[in-house]
Amino acid sequence: MKVKEYVIKKIERLPKGFVFTYEDIIKEVSSKEAVIKNLNRMVTSGKLSKLSKGRFYKPEITLFGELEPNEYQVAKDLLEKNGKTIGYLTGLTVYNQLGLTTQLSNSIQIGRNEIRPAFQRGKYKISFVKQKNNITKENIPMLQILDSIRYIKEIPDAETSFLCNRFLNILAGLSQKNKIALIRLALKYSLATRALVGALLDKTGDEELTEKLQNSLNPITTYKLGITKEDLSTIEKWNIK
C-alpha cells in the first residue's frame, strides 16, 4: 500500500476532534518524510486541521463552523504517560464543568506532582499547579473539587454566596466514601482550604467527619476569604472571614 493511501485510511478511522501527532502515523510506515508531507497536504486541502506544530485533528464542521478539540484532547499527552495518569484538568475548565462559572477561555490549567513552566500550544496557554497528593483516576474528581475550593477567590463572574451554595450542592451529592476521601486529600492543601472544606461539610450536616480537618488547624489563625455568615453560616467555627 502506498504511503498516501495508508495515511488516508488511517485518518479515516480516527474520530473527529481526536488529536494525534506524526508519531502516531509513522509507527507503521518507514518513510517519515512521506507521512509528514501527506499530512500537511491534508491540512492544505481542509481534510485535517493543525492544532500546533506536529499536532493534527479531524475537524468537525457544524452549522456554526468548525468545532475545536476539547481540552482533554489538546492536553492529553500532559495528563497520561505510558498508560499512567500523571495529571488532570483543573482551573477554568473544571469551574465551568462544576457549574461555578459560565466563563470560557483559551487557558488550560493542569494539576501535576511535577510541574513545568507555562507554554503556548496553538491558541491555548497551558499552565500547571502543583498537586501534593498522589494523582489517580479515582481521586481526580475530588482533587478538582478541592482545587476549586482552594481558588474560590479567583473564580470569575460569580458571587461568593452563589459559589458557597454551589459547593454545598456538590458536596451534598458525594457519597460517604468520597467525602472521607475528600477530607484525606484536603489535609495536603493549604490551611485556608482545609478550613473552608470543613465549614462547607459542617453545613451539609457532616460535622462528624471534619474533626481531622479541625485538628490540623491552628485555633487562633484567621482565614480571610471574603466570606460572610450570610454566605455560609458555619464560618465562625473555622475562623473564616
Cα separation, 48 vs 58, in Å, equals: 5
- Position 5 scores a pLDDT of 86
Sign of CA dihedral 208, 213, 219, 224: negative
Q: Side chain identity at 32, as an amino acid letter?
A: K
CA atoms in the 13 A half-sphere facing the CB of 218 = 7
- Position 62 scores a pLDDT of 84
Q: What is the DSSP letter of 119?
A: E
Q: What's the Rg (C-alpha) of the chain?
A: 22
The single residue listed with the C-alpha cell 497528593 is: 133
**Ordered mean pLDDT values, 10 residues apiece, the chain (241 residues):** 82 93 76 86 92 92 87 96 96 97 93 96 95 97 98 96 98 97 98 98 96 96 96 98 95
Cα separation, 16 vs 143, in Å, equals: 29
Read off the pTM: 0.92
Mark out the alpha helices in the chain (DSSP H runs): 3-12, 22-26, 32-45, 71-75, 92-97, 140-150, 160-172, 176-186, 191-203, 211-215
What fold does the segment set 3-67 form as a domain? Arc Repressor Mutant, subunit A (1.10.10)
- Position 36 scores a pLDDT of 87
CA atoms in the 13 A half-sphere facing the CB of 143 = 21
Contact 119, 126 (CB under 8 A): yes
Q: Count other Cβ atoms within 10 Å, centred on residue 228.
A: 14
- Position 66 scores a pLDDT of 85
| CA-to-CA dists, residue 105 to 9, 102, 234, angstroms | 34, 10, 33
What are the residue boundaries of the structural domains of the chain, listed by start?
3-67, 70-137, 159-241
Which residues, in sequence order, are bridge partners of residue 66? 61
Q: What is the DSSP letter of 175?
A: -
Tell me which residue of 182, 158, 159, 167 sits closest to 98, measured CA to CA.
167
